Amino acid sequence: MSETAADQLFLGRQPILDRDQQLFAYELLFRNGSRNFADVTDGVEATATVIVNAFAELGVEAALGNCRGFINVDEQFLFSDMLELLPRQSVVLEILETVPPTAAVVERCKALKAAGFTLALDDVIQLAPEFAELLALVEIVKVDIQPLSRVQLMQLVMKLKPMGKQLLAEKVDSREQMEQCLKLGFSLFQGYYFAKPTIIAGKKLDHSQLSLMKLMGLLLGEADTAELEVALKPEPGLTVNLLRMTNSVGSGTTETITSLRHAITVLGRRQLQRWLQLLLFASNKQQGTSNPLLLLAATRGRLMELLAEELSPGNNPLADQAFMVGIMSLMPALISQPIEEIVAPLGLASMVRDALCLGTGTLGALLKVAESSETGDLEALTKSQQELPAPISLKAINRAQTQALQWANSIGQETAG
């Protein structure tokens, strides 16, 4: 595969959640950016090389943490030797619905399963007799719930349950669908529902969370130390937390902190911002686990921060504002309020506000890049890249994505601890 094709490596991802809405896995969406291969064999090799590079070069395996990566496998790629180079403990091979259940396909799946791979069958809407052998081999069945009525879905599940398969409901778009699938016994879930306001219907940020958001707004608005002190004083819990952290050995200072203003000065504005981000992340817990949507927000924020650094190296203000836009962009889904209402009381810089409310400016363009890269929409990504003041390569975007995912996973582990 040419270096040009390798540079076009592109990675998207979509979360898969368990019954407790904890992050279980990501479906990894690989694209190579090239539409025209000389022949089918070249296409298979390109796809395989893209995936292998993603794990070897971009460090996706490390970025996934304790989660697995579901990888779509078509008929050609199923028979590629390069498939066996993938880390079998970290991936689930998702056999696409377009793969015919021939004797050769069944034998190949038997060999992959014997080699330690976990297999899943994609887009199941009925149990056709010719798929019986293939179905017997897979451990996970992905059911496309969209074309099925409630009765049809129930009948399908009743047939699948005796087989002992793990059932994954995909294309879950509403709370009603989620609740129905829970009652039917599905253990895994995937769909746009998890990025919609209905995921936490009617939830509002509590007082301390609002304070965290306001403090971050003050920091990014370059408020002076006195203003930050005034904002912190009504929050004794935050104040104690800040003083404890600043006095700790891990903060890198041996100086004894004697006041709130002293703590703000010693810690520094960027470290203070990171502390607030950690607290915001930790404050959103669902029965002791991280809110999956907040995990996405944290990942997007870090992704945008890294892209801003790529775009303008050494420009810390731009990187900080990019992070703020990233995490704030998913707040409407978190608290079921329009973005305009959320940003109004925060005193955000105009660049941040315009990016969030209007999608304009450099930060608005970076937000579009982040959103399209998450969905694996190469056409939208290409269009959004053109709005940037300087180009960022697909390879750089992929590198930033994996680093962002690693960071978000590490934050989740820290806050869980």
CA separation for the pair 20, 98 (Å, rounded): 31
Q: Which CATH fold topology does 3-195 show?
A: TIM Barrel (3.20.20)
H or E segment and range at residue 291 = none
CA separation for the pair 48, 151 (Å, rounded): 40
Helix (H, G, I), strand (E, B) or coil at 167: strand
Position with higher pLDDT, 114 vs 335: 114
pLDDT number for residue 410: 67
Structure confidence at residue 413 as a pLDDT band (50, 70, 90): low
The answer to whether the pTM exceeds 0.75 is no
Q: Kindly tell me the sign of the dihedral angle through the C-alpha atoms of 254, 256, 260, 266.
A: negative
As a whole number, the mean pLDDT across the chain is: 77
pLDDT number for residue 98: 87
pLDDT in tens, 154-186: 999 999 999 999 999 999 888 789 899 999 999
Phi, psi (rounded to 5 degrees) for 91: -125, 155
Report the candidate in 369, 382, 379, 384 with the shortest Cα–Cα distance to residue 325.
369
Report the candidate in 349, 374, 375, 215 with the shortest Cα–Cα distance to residue 283.
215
The contacts found for 357-365 with CB under 8 angstroms, 24 or more apart, are: 362/311, 362/318, 362/388, 362/389, 363/304, 363/308, 363/318, 363/321, 363/322, 363/325, 365/389
Q: What mean pLDDT do residues 189-204 have?
A: 53
Cβ-count burial 208-240 (b if 16+ within 10 Å, e if not): ebebbbbbbbbbbeebeeeebbebbeebeebee
Residue with tokens 């270096």: 3
Cβ-count burial 185-195 (b if 16+ within 10 Å, e if not): ebebbbbebbb
Structure confidence at residue 412 as a pLDDT band (50, 70, 90): low
Task: Give yes or no for residue 401 having a pLDDT over 80.
Answer: yes
* Domain ranges within the chain, ordered by starting residue: 3-195, 207-416
Per-residue CA distances from 109 to 46, 78, 274 (Å): 21, 8, 46
pLDDT number for residue 183: 94
Task: Give yes or no for residue 76 having a pLDDT over 60.
Answer: yes
pLDDT number for residue 245: 59
77 near 94, Cβ under 8 Å?
A: no
Structure confidence at residue 203 as a pLDDT band (50, 70, 90): very low
Amino acid of residue 319: A
Question: Which of 39-53, 127-141, 290-304 has the lowest average pLDDT?
Answer: 39-53
Q: What mean pLDDT do residues 359-382 have?
A: 88
Report the candidate in 390, 343, 347, 341 with the shortest Cα–Cα distance to residue 365.
390
CA separation for the pair 208, 213 (Å, rounded): 9
CATH of domain 207-416: 1.10.3210
Structure confidence at residue 41 as a pLDDT band (50, 70, 90): very low
CA separation for the pair 241, 224 (Å, rounded): 21
Q: What angle do CA 405, 195, 415 make, to 5 degrees?
A: 45
DSSP state of 183: H
Report the candidate in 107, 99, 22 with the shortest Cα–Cα distance to residue 65.
22
pLDDT number for residue 85: 74
Structure confidence at residue 398 as a pLDDT band (50, 70, 90): confident
Q: What mean pLDDT do residues 112-133 have?
A: 93
pLDDT in tens, 13-33: 778 888 887 788 888 877 654
Longest dimension (CA), the chain: 75
H or E segment and range at residue 16 = strand 10-18
Task: Give yes or no for residue 273 having a pLDDT over 80.
Answer: no
Antiparallel, parallel or unpaired: β 188-190 and 10-18: antiparallel
Task: Give yes or no for residue 198 having a pLDDT over 60.
Answer: no
Structure confidence at residue 355 as a pLDDT band (50, 70, 90): very high
Task: Give yes or no for residue 89 having a pLDDT over 50.
Answer: yes
190 near 169, Cβ under 8 Å?
A: yes
Position with higher pLDDT, 393 vs 204: 393
Q: What mean pLDDT do residues 35-47 have?
A: 44
Chain-centre distance for alpha carbon 272: 25
pLDDT number for residue 40: 37
